[in-house]
Amino acid sequence: LAKTRGNRYQFYVASVDNEIRERKRLERELSEALAMDQLQLVYQPQIDFRTGQVAGAEALLRWEHPEQGWISPEIFIPLAEKSDLIIAIGEWVLDRACAQLKVWHGMGFPELRMAVNLSAVQLKQTDLTDLVVRTLSKHQLPPQTLELEMTETGIMEDLQAAATALKAIKKSGVLLALDDFGTGYSSLSYLKQLPFDKIKIDKSFVQEITDSHDDSSIVRAIIQLGESLELQVIAEGVETAAHETYLIQHGCQEGQGYYYCKPVPDPLFIEYLRKSNQ
């Protein structure tokens, strides 16, 4: 191999090597960040279209790296999933989100809901239901104010295992939402067998609503599917008044996106909440 054109092969090895080392380093730093409380949650309002008020919040994780600045969860969540660090991170997220929700409930918004993202890896965790029940009781929260979001792709990886886990969690009384709906496998028959309360239309469809015929018909089809399966439907990635109008006209119940508010830290969320739910 060394005889292949000069230094090229060696260069290749060195760069792959670097990449692996870099990933390992980031992984270690992520684990330290968790231990040192350097992860943060931000919250994005979910708007009930009937009332125009905030019905809930989605908790989204943020990591400010000391040298690299903000690292996107699209990068560090997959990393955490590979190393099982996601289990500890997931526990931390659930605990922090529930603590925060309890505070908001105490501020005069007792019906507010918190949506927390669950990784498929967490679904395989044997004591997930236990964890959910323990965390709810630790923070003295009514179960129906907690909603767990899972992606379609994550569920389909191991449908049987997911179905069993979801049924167990559902018994605790929390709500279940299917995230990024429409982007994964197109088989819909499984939907009926899983105890979901809500589907979340992926933002890629919502954003094309006003100019793509295909995507607007997908959005309508998802809303109709929700109706016939008696599932709530929320749209993510609502960025304009035109998006909102279309969604409301076609019977979507809730919306979330930059049009209302970006994901923000607690004090700004409260400010938004007070303004819209007065």
Window contacting ligand C2E (CB under 6 A); options: 8-16, 105-113, 231-239, 270-278: 231-239
CA separation for the pair 36, 15 (Å, rounded): 31
Rg of the chain over CA atoms, in angstroms?
A: 21
**Selected range binding ligand C2E among 6-14, 125-133, 215-223, 257-265, rule: CB under 6 A:** 257-265
Q: Which tokens in the block code for residue 164?
A: 């069993």
Residues 199-238 close enough to bind Ca ion by CB under 5 A: 236
Residue 135 as a binder of ligand C2E (CB under 6 A): the answer is no
To ligand C2E, the closest distance from the beta carbon of 267 in angstroms equals 18
Site membership for Ca ion, residue 117 (CB under 5 A): yes
- Asked if residue 255 binds ligand C2E (CB under 6 A), the reply is no
Residue closer to ligand C2E by CB (options 172, 240) is: 240
CB-nearest residue to ligand C2E? 257
What are the start-end ranges of the E strands in the chain?
39-48, 54-65, 69-71, 113-117, 146-151, 175-181, 198-201, 232-235, 254-255
133 burial (CB, 10 Å; 0-12 / 13-18 / 19+) is: middle
Whole-number Å distance between alpha carbons of 218 and 84: 35
Q: How many CB atoms lie within 10 A of CB 90?
A: 23
Residue 254 interacting with Ca ion (CB under 5 A): no
The answer to whether 150 contacts ligand C2E (rule: CB under 6 A) is no
- Separation between Cα atoms, residue 111 and residue 44, nearest integer Å: 16
Among 152, 179, 244, 254, binds Ca ion (CB under 5 A): 179
User: Could you give the 3-state DSSP secondary structure of residue 82?
Assistant: helix
Figure out which of the listed residues 100, 119, 129, 135 binds ligand C2E, where binding follows CB under 6 A.
119
When binding is defined by CB under 6 A, the residue of 18, 72, 144, 210 that contacts ligand C2E is: 72
Q: Is 74 in the site for ligand C2E (CB under 6 A)?
A: yes
Q: What's the distance, Cα to Cα, between the start and end of the chain in Å?
A: 71
Phi-psi sector, 230: left (phi>0), alpha (psi -120 to 50), beta:
left
Residue 51 — φ and ψ, nearest 5°?
-105, -20
CB of 236 vs ligand C2E, minimal distance in Å:
6
Q: Helix/strand/coil (H, E, C) string of 92-160?
A: HHHHHHHHHHHHHHHCCCCCCEEEEECCHHHHCCCCHHHHHHHHHHHCCCCHHHEEEEEEHHHHHHCHH
**Closer of 226 and 263 to ligand C2E (Cβ):** 263
Q: Does 157 bind ligand C2E (CB under 6 A)?
A: no
Over the window 46 to 65, marking each residue x when it contacts ligand C2E by CB under 6 A and - when it does not, the resulting string is --------------xx----
Residue 125 lies near Ca ion (rule: CB under 5 A): no
Query: Residue 237 binds which one of ligand C2E, Ca ion, none, with CB within 5 to 8 A depending on kind?
Result: ligand C2E
Given the rule CB under 6 A, which residues bind ligand C2E?
44, 60-61, 72-74, 77, 93, 117-119, 179-180, 203, 236-239, 257-258, 263
Given the rule CB under 5 A, which residues bind Ca ion?
117, 149, 179-180, 236
